[in-house]
Structure 1
Amino acid sequence: MERKAKLEEIEALRGVAFLAVVLQHAIGGLFAQPGLLSLSVSLGTTFLGLIRFAVPLFVFITGVVLFYNYDRSFQYGRFLKKRGQQVVLPYLFWTLFYYAWVSVRSGGAIIGDWGDLLHVLELAFTGKASYHLWFMVMIIPFYLLFPVFRLLLAGKRPASVNLSVTIGFLVANLILVYALSKGYFQSDQPILQTLYRYLDRNFLFWTFYFVLGGFAGLYYERWKKAMQSLWGVSLAITVLFLIYIGTKIWGINQGAAAGDYLTSSYVTGPLKPLMIVATLAMLPVLFYTIQRLTSKPTKMGFVLTVIGKYSFGAYLVHAFILRYTNLLALNVLGILGVYIQTLISFILCACISVGLGIGFRRIRNRWRKARVGVDRGIAG
């Protein structure tokens, strides 16, 4: 495959998505504590709505990178091998890690019998080893089915046709999430019950973001110009969205001594028609902001790019780190209030996770070099 120009904005966008994920999970761990004022919970869950773009942005970035890099030559076997090494194997390792971690914390055996081994396999297929690993179960099918998506969205076709395909996926996704929000996916059949239980990690509910990313990857320079022209409208819609959800969330918590975090957070659940439209509306201002930060050397742009570069390993480990930073915030920093608690836990978790991500990458690179050296020695 011919090496193409590096997409400077995309690495920084990936860094933003990672930080948004960590902040979401920090908010979820600390704003769910009992006794918080309803105003605090309302403000926290309204802000949560602002950063709900995290997972859609990750899926969008995956589409951008794949369609940008593989717009012409494509060898499926080599592609799968590379993704298996870079994505699937780390996921399986961290599935086993989180399973072992939970087993040790609960005082049980790590692998006691065949039943435990089958349970690990179940966790790998469902992403239930840790609350954040569902994303891996959702994203892997996009790699497996990438040749199919390349048939649906092709650079050799007119841009208007590809745009129509993208809009078609938007409509289909809106219909799917609307049906999900209305509870239409229900059945008495055991197989369908199991399937419906994991709809949040079914890639079909996220395909629009991947296809939109693919469209952006095919016409990347034109996409950047479009984001530059739309950022003002995007910002205005984002402000209106925050006002709308803030009012709705305050209506849930108003009049109560303590806020209801779980009910409040459901208002901005990612698999809702409202959030698909809101995420799509936020994207231009988010993309344009990152363009400005990366078009010239800036400290913020550099930091976000570094975070994005090591975000995959950091994402996999961050749930482990966040448990302890949240415990620190709850047990030691309680006097500071929930806002400062969340900020400190978020910063500590993000920094430690990225640091470990850098370490993981270096270990992997050294292992690869050592393996190449052994293979050359055998060949010689």
Structure 2
Amino acid sequence: MSQLTGAAVQKSPRASLQRVDEWGLLRGLSFFAIVMQHSLGEFIYRADILYPDAAAIAMLYHLIRYGTLTFVFLAGAILFYQYGRNDRRYAPVLTKRIGDIYVPFAFWTVLYWILTKILSKQPLFASGDWPAFLQQFIAPTYGYHLWFVVMIFQFYLFFPLFRSAASGIGRWTGSGNDERAKFGRIGLLIVLLAIAYGWLMYLSYYRMPEWQTSGLWKTLLDYRTYEFPYYAFYFVLGGICGTYLEKWRAFVLKMLPWSTLAFIGMYLWMNLDMLRSSGEQINLNYSTYLKPSSFVAVTVQILMLYGWVLLLQKQGGWWKKLLALCGKYSFGAYLSHAMLLTGIAVITRDWLFPGWHLLVSVLTALIVASTALLLCAGLSRLPGGRWLTGGAGRGKRKT
């Protein structure tokens, strides 16, 4: 999903921005994680699945929960890296992002509407369908993965507010010549923000479903998974990465042993919590993003993965080249992958795989991911292909 988390870099009158290769690798990893999540979700609820297979799928599921939220992190990193200074004009960037993000999203939204109607053997536009159709461009349901485009685009819309807030905070943290004190203040602010965000996750998961509301408040609560404040911590964390890139790299490498241990601990806890909560039938919904334990697990996983990706960046090899290529075409592939997965699901839903659901779901994910990437690469080369893929692969990228 490179178009969601990157934009063409423009030269600053003061300095030329350097390419940040590890962000492309993280995009590739995150795209694979998202496709795998959706493939696992397709097979885990089938009637013929055995409990050991379902438990194994849940364990793999918790290894790849970082995908979507890493894209939020990358959006913050790239926006602050490229446009964090108040002297950089942002209006042309926003206009470009509408063409690169929202136009392809709108096109695929229509395609998913058509596909859903065909599969359900309904007319494309029955009486009273127009409100539901228009809703798909604000709160999509027919393309179950398109909610993310709506949510993350809000960060592009409100980025000037984030930048203004960061500028004000920067004047406080940057006062004086003591660099250690400066980063100590930044660390304190992150800890306070994490506590506040953890409290929001607690309310979202344990309390908000019980709140009795009506009108606008009910709508805001019902659609909170579409709203950017519920993902803002990852965006701010990415903003710190993009603003203090070299310091960030040194930090994640120094913390790599500890972040890895922390993730292992959270991974074990998440599996125990799901198995204990699900009972006889595994339910992946117990590991929603808007949950305190998911917040902690994904945060330490992002720190861990960033460190490992930096090491991979230094080592090179075919795995690095593969991830970089996947990151290049990830947005168009993200938009199309659910359609490909649906096509496979329609064919295989009557097939029985007792004892083989884990293997079949992994193979399905690999087929879907590779096909979606090839499809995006092909579409991007057609005249007007950028309106389908967001300009994937167009020109040289700095991030």
TM-score (norm 2): 0.84
What is the aligned counterpart of 1:180 among 204, 217, 225? 204
Work out whether 1:293 is the aligned partner of 2:288: no
Work out whether 1:107 is the aligned partner of 2:113: no
Structure 1 stretch displaced more, 201-210 or 43-52: 43-52
CA distance in 2 between counterparts of 1:17 and 1:288 reads 15
Displacement of 1:88: 1.0
- 8 Å Cα contact 1:12/1:304 also seen in 2: yes
Structure 2: which 5+ runs fail to align? Answer: 1-9, 175-181, 388-399
Displacement of 1:246: 2.5
- 8 Å Cα contact 1:153/1:162 also seen in 2: no
Structure 1 stretch displaced more, 202-211 or 115-124: 115-124
Displacement of 1:118: 3.1
- 8 Å Cα contact 1:329/1:344 also seen in 2: no
CA distance in 1 between counterparts of 2:88 and 2:192 reads 25
Structure 1: which 5+ runs fail to align? Answer: 369-380
- 8 Å Cα contact 2:143/2:338 also seen in 1: yes
Q: Which residue of 1 aligns with 2:149?
A: 136
Q: Which residue of 1 aligns with 2:36?
A: 23
Displacement of 1:188: 3.5
Q: Deviations over 1:39-85 (max 9, x none)?
A: 22222112212211111101001001111111334223201111101
- 8 Å Cα contact 1:152/1:165 also seen in 2: no
Identity of counterpart residues, as a percentage?
A: 27
Displacement of 1:346: 0.5
User: Structure 1 100/175 Cα, relative in aligned 2: closer, same or farther at 3 Å?
Assistant: same
Work out whether 1:92 is the aligned partner of 2:116: no
Q: How many residues align?
A: 361
CA distance in 2 between counterparts of 1:367 and 1:357 reads 10
- 8 Å Cα contact 1:241/1:278 also seen in 2: yes
CA distance in 1 between counterparts of 2:344 and 2:364 reads 5
Q: Secondary structure at the match of 1:187?
A: coil
What is the aligned counterpart of 2:282 among 252, 255, 261? 261
Q: Which residue of 2 aligns with 1:36?
A: 49
Displacement of 1:195: 1.8
Q: Name the one with the larger helix percent.
A: 1
Work out whether 1:57 is the aligned partner of 2:70: yes
What is the aligned counterpart of 1:275 among 290, 294, 297? 294
User: Structure 1 241/215 Cα, relative in aligned 2: closer, same or farther at 3 Å?
Assistant: same
Q: Which residue of 1 aligns with 2:395?
A: none
CA distance in 2 between counterparts of 1:243 and 1:297 reads 31
Displacement of 1:174: 1.1
User: Structure 1 56/134 Cα, relative in aligned 2: closer, same or farther at 3 Å?
Assistant: same
Q: Which residue of 2 aligns with 1:124?
A: 137
Structure 1 stretch displaced more, 226-235 or 358-367: 358-367
CA distance in 2 between counterparts of 1:297 and 1:16 reads 15
Where does 1:165-176 land on structure 2 (aligned, <5 Å)?
A: 165-176=189-200
Q: Deviations over 1:167-197 (max 9, x none)?
A: 3432222111111112335234133222211
Displacement of 1:242: 2.2
Displacement of 1:106: 2.3
Q: Which residue of 2 aligns with 1:302?
A: 321
Structure 1 stretch displaced more, 135-144 or 42-51: 42-51
Structure 1 stretch displaced more, 2-11 or 21-30: 2-11
Work out whether 1:203 is the aligned partner of 2:217: no
- 8 Å Cα contact 1:63/1:213 also seen in 2: yes
Structure 1 stretch displaced more, 66-75 or 334-343: 334-343
Q: Which residue of 1 aligns with 2:276?
A: 251
User: Structure 1 295/364 Cα, relative in aligned 2: closer, same or farther at 3 Å?
Assistant: farther
CA distance in 2 between counterparts of 1:112 and 1:329 reads 29
User: Structure 1 306/146 Cα, relative in aligned 2: closer, same or farther at 3 Å?
Assistant: same
Q: Secondary structure at the match of 1:239?
A: helix
Q: Deviations over 1:342-373 (max 9, x none)?
A: 111011100011111212322366779xxxxx
Q: Secondary structure at the match of 2:382?
A: helix
With a CA cutoff of 8 Å and minimum separation of 6, indicate the structure with the bigger relative contact order.
2
What is the aligned counterpart of 1:323 among 337, 342, 351? 342
Q: Secondary structure at the match of 1:153?
A: helix
CA distance in 1 between counterparts of 2:65 and 2:244 reads 26
CA distance in 1 between counterparts of 2:203 and 2:385 reads 49
Q: Which residue of 2 aligns with 1:224?
A: 249
TM-score (norm 1): 0.88
Q: Which amino acid aligns with 1:75?
A: R
What is the aligned counterpart of 2:370 among 351, 358, 367? 351
Aligned-residue RMSD, C-alpha? 2.3
CA distance in 1 between counterparts of 2:352 and 2:48 reads 16
Q: Which residue of 1 aligns with 2:177?
A: none
